Structure 1
Amino acid sequence: MSSTPNLVDTISSSLSLSRYNREQKTEPGGIHPARHVDEDDDLTIRPRRKSPPKIPKQHVITNTITSYLSKSDSREEVVSVTINISPEVSFTLHKPLRNRSSLEVNACEAIQDLMDAHEFFKIIKNPQTESYKDVLPFLITRRKKFFKKRLWVVRATLKAMSGEWSTIGTSPSIHEEFSSFSSIACSRFGALPPVDMLIKLSVEIQTCARVNIDAVPMGRLVQIFNCMFEDCHLLLRSRTIAKAAPRSGAAAAKSAMERFLPLSGGVDYLIKFCRNTFPGPEVRYQWTDRSYFED
């Protein structure tokens, strides 16, 4: 592993998530430019465009690492990611300085960032790690503030829709509403009308999102959030949610759930990617040069 103990500087460019799939342009050395992730970035695990050849779903990989290593959504807490292709595949991690006037504060934060990244990639490459369920405890304990914010946003957007379901034009049958996922929907909820099924899914997700993560044992938390992830996946397969009008309550709920899902399916994909890409026991990554401070 090529993580470095040098302390803190930042670069002005950071991860470009959507552009990475739209434009396959590389700068000298095979390094893709990056930009900071903000609240409007789409963290869906479902690629919106055909993935570039040989390096599939880059945005899934970068979004997932960003989600697990960022302490919050504020600009100074976001860890953005660049995928380097040449001379060999590796990750470069970037994070802005939080307090440019205090060397001591920045040094402590940089050391914590280094430790967190080391632990995260160690878990990802551990042969005993089978799925996101094995990585979720890291997120809950090391990124509690970030995780609580994600839960709150999902819960709030779905709660805001409580009085809207009956006014939304759902499909007349469960098979049209969920298409190829209709068998799963029927096995979960029987012969409920589509609108009642959507309401029940929404309520189940809100119930899971209200859990007090400070008071529930870790094993139980993993079970609860596994159910929540599955419900979010199913609700996003709803024709009503998928085709939600821009700026509608359904569109806001869709965006919130899509940004939540890299914490599950995105990790599963990252685990497979790292095992296929890095044959050794470690993931190749490094932080940008952070050894000096900007004025």
Structure 2
Amino acid sequence: MARFDLTDREWAILEPLLPGYGKRGGRWRDHRQVINGICWVKRTGAPWADMPARYGPYQTAYDRFRKWAQDGTWARIRAQVIALAQAEDDIDWDAQADSTIVRAHQHAAGARKGGSSKDSQARQGLGRSRGGLTTKVHVICDGRGRSLATRVTPGQASDTRQLVGLLDRVAVLGPSGGRPRKRPDSLTADKAYSSKANRAALRARKVKALIPERSDQKANRARKGSSGGRPPSFDPAAYRKRNQVERGFNRRKHWRGLATRYDKRIDSYQATLDLAETLDWLRATPDRSP
């Protein structure tokens, strides 16, 4: 087994979740071999053509990666692995939210599909600033830093405006199916997420907010006197546990294909996130085999 290959335990969990091999054409190359090749490319950040021959033709790995990115297979596998963790009661529902900036390589630019270059970049989750092209990854994770919901935007996107959309993406199926769980017990986030709209959205969902108030908001409330209302509740001791979301980012940025964006299409970059997060869930979950 090579450095980035799936272990036998990981493959035993993933294999039943994968699509069939199909009936048209010749014999399909083994899914495990192809996924190992995809992991090698995304972990190293190397071009597809440099994929080692032991994983088969690089075009096969690329085609399967793109096919599963477009039809949502990677996202479905990730959701099913999280559902398995929920069935084991292995999710810490004291959630955390944050974002990270990812520098986009020059090869990530150029995906055009009508409209101006600026519009095309925005649709592909690319923003331009003094530092060049950037992408921002917004995440809500569980209390152990494992992603529950992810959103990719252009790099200049405001954190505070993404929180409600992220909350709407949290949906974890239970062991017996039925309605998915969409509500964490609490949500910890930094001052960038402090706004009336976000606090109201969390209250409406009955989610305890652990978000410090910004200094300008404190001053504005003080100026209004009694009409400014009471300060929001805040637990400094619980807030200290917020480092788990940062640890989750650090684990996933070991994947050089995530730490620097090489993918032109936003669905390919999201699929890379889905794959990395799937393996993060598998590797952070204790082995309960006899």
* TM-score above 0.5, yes or no: no
Instruction: Please classify the TM superposition score into its range, dividing by the shorter chain length.
Output: under 0.3
TM-score, normalising length: structure 2:
0.27
TM-score, normalising length: structure 1:
0.27
